[in-house]
Every structure is written in structure tokens, then in C-alpha cells.
Structure 1
Amino acid sequence: MQQDPINFLITVIGQMYVFIVVLRFLLQVSHADYYNPISQAIAKLTNKPVWPLSRVLPKIGRIDISALVLALLVKLVIILLLVLYNGGGIPHPLGILIYALVGVLDTVLTIYFWAILGAVIISWVAPDSYHPGPQLIQQLTEPVFAVARKVIPPIGGLDLSPILIIIVIQLIQSQLGRLL
């Protein structure tokens, strides 16, 4: 089955940007090092569209939700472009909003899935790496690991929290797949 190249480009470019914007939000929520070169690159790629939203939208505690709202808006635009390009007419606004919300949540879960997998591999290969990538992954995943460790504490030096988190992520994503 072949896919139309325009559909492919809209989906890939849009999803890549949604991924970067959601990653910016997650790094901010997890209080990752802003001066990490990878964090700086993500901030530069997303500052222009996030900045006006951050002026309008209120912060929730210390969390700036403007990046999350931008990700939702980009996801809405992707869906609208795909529907209009494929001649589907104008869809119901609530349906598109739900589809976009589910898509952004799926992106959050995908980021955490791969970050946790990366953190596990890094803990075996280079546990005390000073490279910006592993440091950022550790800063992103450590708050989630801390919550999971409250449910399943380390047993004999073996941390089973990544397994619990991956199972929960897979369970949620399987249920989200039903909505899409």
C-alpha cells in the first residue's frame, strides 16, 4: 500500500514538530537543565511560537503550559490539513479536538517510552556519563522512576521501576489506540 507523498510530508513534519514541542514541555516539567546544549536546541526551535502563547496563557504553579497548547494546536492543524487535503469535508470540531488530545497524549507516552528504554541502556553501558544526551534522559526520567519506585522499591539492588512504567505506558497506549 502506497501513501500519498503530501500526506506523508504533512504527517512527518508535523509530528516531528509536535514531538519537539512536547519534549520542551516535558523537560520543563521535569526541571531538566536548561543550559544543556540539547535543551538549548529544543528551546531555539520552539521559542518563536511558544513565546506569544506564554504571554497569553497563565502558568499552572511553576509550569508553563504554552508549549503543551502549541503542541495541541499543531496537532489540530495537522489533522485539519490531512482531512481537507483528502477531501473529507469539514469534520466535527469536538471530534478533531479529541483526536488531537489523544495524539498529544500518545506523543507524551512515546517520548517517555523511548527515554526510559534509553535510560535503562545507558545505566548498563555508561552509568555516569557526562554527555549532554544521557544527562538529559536521566533528568527527564528520574521523576517518573521516583514515582514508580514508591510502588515497587528496588529489590536486592535491582530496580524494576522501568518495567512497571513500560507496562503502564503500553497499557495506556493500547487503550488510546481504540480511540484513534
Structure 2
Amino acid sequence: MEAVNFLLTFLFDTYIMILLLRVWLQLAQADFYNPLSQFVVKATAPVVNPFRRIIPGFGGVDVATIVVALLVGIAKFIVLAVVHGASIDIVTYIIIGVIFTIKQAGFLIFWVLILMALMSWVVQSGNPVQSLFHQLTQPLLNPIRRMLPDMGGLDLSVLVALVALNFLNLFLGGFVPFWQSL
């Protein structure tokens, strides 16, 4: 049963991350022709496109993809409950699914920042993934860079963003008792 739980969790979590990445790519107006962008669009299109016919975007935000991400987050906990033979309380799973999806958005930002920082040390410039990560993170990091004093070429904005994300995670965990276990 533990192996099934792992597999289901991995599949749901990965797909939610890809859906959230699609929303982030659109918000950042990242390069649509980047290979990673193409993968994200192709991996999510079969599920998102039917919803896009029904749910319009609003102010440049792809609301349909956000709705699909929330539905996948809710479905994760319902499927896990069914697999484990637990009772299904729809309202509880909706609340947990929404909170989980919000938390996954922060988790996605965290990992993109980490990967971008590591790639800046290792990968030569011109890498398409590094270029895309740069486009995604600049709107988050530029305000931090403007507030930080000049450190002689050392960019601490990623560190400040990671500390802020962790603080926000711990802060919200104080209000929602099961936040840390999601």
C-alpha cells in the first residue's frame, strides 16, 4: 500500500506542479517557444483546453488552468482516501486540496529558485532552461535586488527570497494546523 501511496502522490504532485508552472509562464510572459514551455503546454493541454472553452481568462490570468490545478489538488486527497478506505468528506477535501495547491505553488517557486541558482554556477549561458528560469524569477527577484545594498557583485536576492518563502510557510503553518503535513 505504501508503494501505491507513493506513486499516486508523485503523479498528482508532479501534474499540479506542471499546471502551476503553466500559469506562472503565462503570468511572466515567458518565451513560449522555449522547449520547457512547449513541454508544459503539451503536457497540460489535453486537460486544460476543455476547461478553457468554458472558463475565460481574466486580466491575463489563465483561470481555467488554476481551476484545473485546484481540482487535481482536491482529487489527490479524494483518491488517496478511497485507496485507504477512509470516509470521504468533500468539504474537508476541498479545503485541504486548495491549501495544498497554494503550498505547491510556493514549493514550485522554491525549487525554481534553487535550480536557477545552481545552474548559474554550473551551466554556461545560453541554456534554454536557464533562460526560462531567469524570465520566471526576475519579477520576484528584482524588487529584492533594489532593496539590497550593493554587495560587490554577490547576488543575495535568491537567498532572501528563499528565506521569505520559508518564513511564509512557517507563518501560515501557525494558522492552519495541518499545513506542515501537506
TM-score normalised over the length of structure 2: 0.87
Higher relative contact order (CA 8 A, sep 6+): 1
Stretches of structure 1 that go unaligned for 5 or more consecutive residues are none
User: Which aligned segments of 4 or more residues in structure 1 are displaced greater than 6 angstroms?
Assistant: none
Q: Distance in 2 between matches of 1:158 and 1:87?
A: 53
Q: Aligned pair count?
A: 176
Secondary structure at the aligned position of 2:153 is classed as coil
**Shift in CA distance, 69/135, structure 1 to aligned 2, threshold 3 Å:** same
1:88-107 alignment runs, 5 A limit:
88-93=86-91, 95-107=92-104
Q: Match of 2:159? A: 163
2:42 maps to which of 36, 41, 44: 44
The Cα shift of 1:167 comes to 0.7
TM-score normalised over the length of structure 1: 0.88
The C-alpha deviation readout for 1:33-89, integer Å capped at 9, x for no partner, is: 000011101111100111111122232211212212111101111110111221221
The C-alpha deviation readout for 1:90-145, integer Å capped at 9, x for no partner, is: 2141x22221122111111111111112222233334x611211111111111111
Q: Match of 1:18? A: 16
Q: Match of 1:31? A: 29
1:124 maps to which of 93, 116, 121: 121
1:60 maps to which of 47, 50, 58: 58
Q: Distance in 2 between matches of 1:49 and 1:153?
A: 45
**1:26–1:140 Cα contact (<8 Å) kept:** yes
In structure 1, give the amino acid aligned to 2:36.
I
CA RMSD across the alignment: 1.8
In structure 1, give the amino acid aligned to 2:48.
V
Q: Match of 1:138? A: 134
Secondary structure at the aligned position of 2:120 is classed as helix
The Cα shift of 1:153 comes to 4.8
**2:75–2:97 Cα contact (<8 Å) kept:** no
Stretches of structure 2 that go unaligned for 5 or more consecutive residues are none
Q: Distance in 1 between matches of 2:90 and 2:71?
A: 16
**1:106–1:176 Cα contact (<8 Å) kept:** no
Alignment of 1:114 with 2:121, yes or no, is: no
In structure 2, give the amino acid aligned to 1:48.
P
